[in-house]
Structure 1
Amino acid sequence: MRTSTNPELTAAWATVPDVATAQERYTEAVRLRHSFPSGATPAAALASVQDEAIATLTATGKWPADFAKRAAKAHAEALVWEAEATALRRAEDMLKFAAEDARDSMAPDVLAYLGGRLDEILTSAKDASAALGDVTTADEAIDAGGDALDAWRRLTGLVADLRNVRAAQWDVLRSVSYSDEQARMRNWMAEGHGEVRGVRLDDVPEHVKGAVRNQSYGPAQLVWLAHSGAAYVPTSFDDLEAHVMAATEPISHNDSGPLYDYSPRVTPEPAPTPSRVYAHSNMPLIDKSKERGVKPKPNAVISDRDEATTVF
């Protein structure tokens, strides 16, 4: 975990005691490893004793009588040194992982704290802007004096707090994201995403989008955020991504004219039309072994034909 001089980030992490404790343990492991004296491995220690014995034999023609004792002592001391050095390296790696795991698991709490701080800053900025009236620059505030000058001073102090909250926000999001997610966040920041929600970027003033891209907030941008109600701190990478997708989802248009409802329509069943019976009609004869049925009563007549007209 990196140390930070950002007071908002330091205060945010301080709200999570487990993270602070894990960081302290890791820092102590780093200190112990760096202060541990240098030494030789068992193989290197034995090689040193062997080289000295060979040099003595070469110079005097005699082999050192205490070679075995010296070799055993050097090897034993090197084993002890190597064991502790290895243990300190493992301790540093394990405590670093534990500290990073604690930081990652508690990141939503830290981002939620930063979101609360942002709300406090915006509320104070809204009050200060009301006292400013038509004052929009430092020179105008000096000329106005009184309440306007005090409000301008409060507003400029809040700008510094806002910048720290935003820097802390991105620091936490980067630290808990993978490299590909970090690359996407850089692109989103360059486009102006990640600090306003509920509005499309096209509806955000250009000077506010520029402040997001360059992290260069000033009083004017703070006042706009305070009154817009759109500023927020993402609670996670997924939360950030969801808001970016919502802000960039294309608006659909119907280029084919009005929409028509082609769903099936249910119509009442038509009443049956009675059969037409003429004077010459008879009951059908189905079985010749039987007599034909009673002749039906006529209910229709054959219309007269139109007179034929001969055209010469």
Structure 2
Amino acid sequence: MPNPALEAAYATIPELVEYHERTERIGELHRTVPPADAPEIAAQKIVNEALEEYLRTGVMPADVEARATEAYTAALGAHALRSAVGSLYADSVHGQTLEFLRQVNAPAILADLGVQLADLLTEARKRTEALGAVRTADEALTAGGKVAEAYTALRALLPTLRDIRSGQWDTLRLGQLTGPSSPYQRAKDSGFGDVQGINDDTPRGQFTAMQNQRYTLDHLVWLAQMNGTAYVPESVEDVLVAQEAYETRHSVSDAPLVKDLSPLAVPTPPAPTPKPRPVHGRKPAPADIVLNIN
């Protein structure tokens, strides 16, 4: 089933608009251009008919070759047209081109979904004050008046919110692996793809609603009263970064302190003042010794 929010976003992308217009024309052509035999088959049919007539009557039609040539020539154009149309149609229904165009234009698609979300919440804010604390149909019927009107109007906005969120995840999935433990699936299940600045004060019930993509009237009212923090993320990575920032908000780095390894400046002490050497009795040198031999 088409997603109205996503289709509206696609309608803002010229390449996608042109693709769909082209695909529609190809489909119409494929329905109206009749099937056509290959030229060889068309000529062979004439020849086969002539042979059957000869076997039945013993007379070969004199114009069999001329008619076979005419059939061959006539089939050339018709068969070429039908083949070309068939090839175009096969490419158009295969979907690879459309998938590529959506992936290339994913940022613009997500941006438009973000605009739709902002417009939706602006409309919701017009009704939240009148709604007050009412959240159920029974409460709205009991209250009546403007409360019941606000409840009805806000309930009518819920499908649009669901379409926007569904379109958001369909677009973020483009070009991504989608296994149970893939980054895409982790981001989708994280609860961080709906509002910015999730913190310890975020109501648990609202966080669970975002994790499970189960959007109620109470969640819509809560979003409308958040005053600008509801958003459409630009990428899977943005969602995972927001989740990591929240989950590591109380962590302390285990990295050791950085030591200053720059050379220490060691002062050079002043040279000591030389002291005078003590003078003792001088010993006689060998040359001063006189030997007395009697």
TM-score, with length taken from structure 1: 0.70
* 1:198 and 1:247 in contact (8 A); partners too: no
Change (3 A) 1:22 1:147: same
- SS for the counterpart of 1:180 is coil
Q: How many percent of aligned residue pairs carry the same amino acid?
A: 33
Residue 221 (structure 1) shift: 1.6
Give 1:57's aligned residue.
Answer: 54
Q: 241, 244, 247: which is aligned to 2:240?
A: 244
Q: Cα deviation per residue 1:43-97 (whole Å; 9 max; x = unaligned)? A: 2223322322332333333333221012112211221111111232344467778
Unaligned 5+ segments in structure 1 are 283-312
- Residue identity opposite 1:231 in structure 2: A
* 2:172 and 2:236 in contact (8 A); partners too: no
Give 1:29's aligned residue.
Answer: 26
Change (3 A) 1:62 1:209: farther
- SS for the counterpart of 1:241 is helix
Residue 220 (structure 1) shift: 1.6
Answering whether residue 17 of structure 2 is matched by residue 20 of structure 1, we say: yes
Residue 115 (structure 1) shift: 0.6
Give 2:4's aligned residue.
Answer: 7
Change (3 A) 1:244 1:254: closer
Matches of 2:219 and 2:66 in 1, distance apart? 78
Matches of 1:102 and 1:253 in 2, distance apart? 44
Change (3 A) 1:59 1:248: farther
Q: Cα deviation per residue 1:142-191 (whole Å; 9 max; x = unaligned)? A: 323333333322321222221122233334445xx236369753453244
Change (3 A) 1:267 1:104: closer
Q: 257, 260, 275: which is aligned to 2:257?
A: 260
Change (3 A) 1:279 1:261: same
* 1:26 and 1:99 in contact (8 A); partners too: no
* 2:128 and 2:150 in contact (8 A); partners too: yes
Residue 32 (structure 1) shift: 0.7
Matches of 1:265 and 1:21 in 2, distance apart? 65
* 1:197 and 1:231 in contact (8 A); partners too: yes
Unaligned 5+ segments in structure 2 are 280-294
User: In the comparison of the two structures, how many residue pairs are matched?
Assistant: 271
Answering whether residue 42 of structure 2 is matched by residue 42 of structure 1, we say: no
Give 1:129's aligned residue.
Answer: 128
Matches of 2:268 and 2:134 in 1, distance apart? 81
Residue 41 (structure 1) shift: 1.0
- Greater mean deviation of Cα atoms: 86-95 or 143-152: 86-95
* 1:189 and 1:213 in contact (8 A); partners too: yes
- Residue identity opposite 2:221 in structure 1: V
- Larger RCO of the pair (alpha carbons < 8 Å, separation 6+): 2
Give 1:221's aligned residue.
Answer: 219
* 1:197 and 1:243 in contact (8 A); partners too: no
TM-score, with length taken from structure 2: 0.74
- Greater mean deviation of Cα atoms: 97-106 or 9-18: 97-106
Matches of 2:212 and 2:177 in 1, distance apart? 21
Change (3 A) 1:106 1:280: closer
Give 1:146's aligned residue.
Answer: 145
Residue 7 (structure 1) shift: 3.3
